[in-house]
Amino acid sequence: MQSEEADIEMETMARQFWAIGDPVRLRILRMLPSEPSCEQACNVSKIAERIGLSQPSTSHHLRVLRQAGIITNKKMCRDMIYWVRPEVLSELQAELASVLEGDVSGG
């Protein structure tokens, strides 16, 4: 059972690394606030304008990040706003450090 849990964790981590492995999504992460607020609200229109993509393309990138659990969203201030989940990024950073500290030579 423990091996199954480890496999699920590895799949989640791989999905999260894949999600942030795109330059557009990295740019989006850099602009999103770390907590929901109307003052720093980032909706699809604002994000699309800043990165120079169409709203549908921006929505796709936001969906990938949301499905990976890296960002979250909420209807607020008359818009759907997005923000980063810093605790998830911290966990991902720690996991990467753990992997890199391990014996990657395989023997």
Backbone phi and psi for residue 97, each to the nearest 5 degrees, phi listed first: -60, -40
Instruction: Spell out the per-residue pLDDT of the chain, length 107, in tens.
Output: 567 877 778 888 899 999 999 999 999 999 999 988 888 889 999 999 999 999 999 999 999 999 999 999 999 878 999 999 999 999 988 988 887 887 555 44
Q: Rounded to the nearest 5 degrees, what angle is found at the Cα of 48, between the Cα atoms of 37 and 40? A: 15
pLDDT number for residue 9: 82
Q: How far apart are the first and last CA of the chain?
A: 25
Structure tokens at 22: 């795109």
Structure tokens at 54: 């169409």
Rounded to whole angstroms, the Cα distance separating 31 from 23 reads 13
Sequence-distant (≥ 6) Cβ neighbours of residue 23 within 8 angstroms: none
CATH of 2-95, one of 1.10.443.10, 1.10.10.10, 3.30.43.10, 3.40.190.10: 1.10.10.10
pLDDT number for residue 103: 54
Question: Do 82 and 42 meet the contact criterion of CB atoms below 8 Å apart?
Answer: yes
